Structure 1
Amino acid sequence: MEKEFFLLGKEPGATVVHLLGEKSKKADNMDLWVWKENDTSEYTIKFAYKILEEDAQGDVVALYKSFWRIKEQPSSLFTAWMVMEDKIATKANLERSGINLGSNICCLCEEDEETTSRLFCACRSAWLVWSKCYEWVGWASTNHWEPEKHFINFKLSGINEVVNQIWGCVWIAVVEEVWKHRNKKFLKMVG
């Protein structure tokens, strides 16, 4: 078809209009995109970014609403919240703050850098604990490497909210115990 355009000496647009027929051509109507998300119908990057930001904030609000509804010890909730916010004093976070500990290797598995994601989700020791939790309820799952996503994924599907609240307590308790165990090992290493 492209060869025909050049052979006929016509512009491709004129040939397409001819092939489609004159009825499809409307000279008085302009073809345009309309942005329906604001009053002016004009697309702006600023407004698109605002929509994306509001959508992301909605997800975060829903996450933390379900998190803070869990009936758990305030200190455990605070520790788990610090983990989800990546504010817990892991070796990587301490190093980023200018505190040099000499080695930033994970205290639990001694294999990789001790980041929040590594310590609570990807570390072999933590992974074994999460696997036992899943095994306990007869559930097969993959572990997310980010604590927020791990918390969201830890919910049991098809189960009522009360049971998921209890399951959320299990998640927070595991995070708290992993942190306590890490601190004991860390203090033995530096002491």
Structure 2
Amino acid sequence: MKFILITTAILALGCSKNKPITDKPEVIMEQQKNVDPIYQFKVKDITGSDFNLADLKGKKVLIVNTASKCGLTPQFEELEKLYQQYKDQNFVIIGFPTNDFMSQDPGTNEEIAEFCKLNYGVTFPMMSKIEVKGDAMEPLYQYLTQKSKNGLGDFVVEWNFQKFLINEEGKLANVIGPKVSPTDSEITNWIEGK
């Protein structure tokens, strides 16, 4: 039974449910002209304090759902490397722990924060644990995954470490699959405006 579950999970990771963004920038701008930016949302950071996304105006943002006990958990190291490389260039990463995928982040916020710091030296902002799918999906993730709210497309959070790229206007620019490295050129070129 365990073998079947593991095989199913691996197959699920290999099959992307999200279509790549192929529209030209001017088409995307037109689709999103009447869409509110992410600045409308307030979330809780990993210590339980308010974190106002309006404070990120003018920055490029990578939003990622994370897990401490996942095969992709080593991406924390790459995320931190990316953050250190670009944090002084109007770029920030925000991590949202979730236990939504095979219970791979069962710890408390305090345990998750300690794990991230001790094992990967994470300094980018980590938020309180949330749900990124289902009926209790965090409102920010409803925005990120529903075309009626983001103007770009309908997306599924496929697994831990899916990346949502937010432009300087606070609007969704792209969705990058969980298995894509945070330091992949698709992401670094976007940060650098190439």
Query: What TM-score, normalized by structure 2, do the two folds share?
Result: 0.25
Relative to its length, the structure with more helix (as a share) is 1
The structure number with the bigger radius of gyration is: 1
Q: Higher RCO, 1 or 2 (CA under 8 Å, sep at least 6)?
A: 2
Query: What TM-score, normalized by structure 1, do the two folds share?
Result: 0.25
Relative to its length, the structure with more strand (as a share) is 2
